[in-house]
Amino acid sequence: MPLKLKTAAQSVLLSLSLATTATAGALGDPIIEKPLELIEEPDWQGLRLGLTYNGEMSGNTTAASEGFPFLDTGHASDGNQGGFVGYDLQRGKMVYGLEYQHIIRDSAVQGDPSRVHGDISSLRVRIGRTAGKTLFFGSIGSAQSTFDDAGTNIDMDGFVAGIGIERLLGKNGIVGLAVDHYDLSGERLATTVDSNHTVLQLRVGFKF
């Protein structure tokens, strides 16, 4: 082989060798990955309190004296204000809580001012499941109210059950809707009263 051709061939081989070495080094360099951004799950745990607006979707009150009915009427009261206070525990996506509610009402039954259905209070447990900043829940508990029959005050007891949805606004604000059904009854002397109400509730509150 002529000297010039041999020298040229050696130069080409040397260049290829250097290129291969450089490429191998580049392939062997460590790959630095960007750190994964952690997605913070909304926190539903804590004390909460707020206000409610309650529109009665349907209601019925019956009353009897010594077994003879003297009142049987369907009715729906005007909107009533109220409030709630409660505490929630969170375990993963599940939320468990206890809540006290009070609805302020002074509703004449059948338009008769001498027969008045009074405030309703309730103490209930609730269980829910989160979907990000949204909570779907159900609740059940005991409820109390009063019925004033022309000056005779009758205490009523019963239960309440409902379903609802809440949404976190930021980290601490709460807004929600719920539908609750109350079933109440009471007796005094010879008078018995049974009452049930289905209520649509708007909830606005704050979580601590």
Reading the block at residue 88, the tokens are: 């929630």
203 by DSSP, 3-state: which?
strand
Give the SS3 label for residue 16.
helix
CA distances from 88 to 96, 101, 129, 142, 172 (A): 6, 15, 12, 18, 13
Per-residue pLDDT 10s for the chain (208 aa) are 555 545 555 565 555 555 555 554 444 555 666 655 556 678 999 999 999 999 989 888 888 887 777 777 766 667 899 999 999 999 999 999 999 999 998 777 766 777 788 899 999 999 999 999 999 999 999 999 998 887 788 999 999 999 999 999 998 999 999 999 999 999 988 888 999 999 999 999 999 9
> Using the 8-state DSSP alphabet, how is residue 1 labeled?
-
CA–CA distance, 63 with 183 (Å, rounded to integer): 14
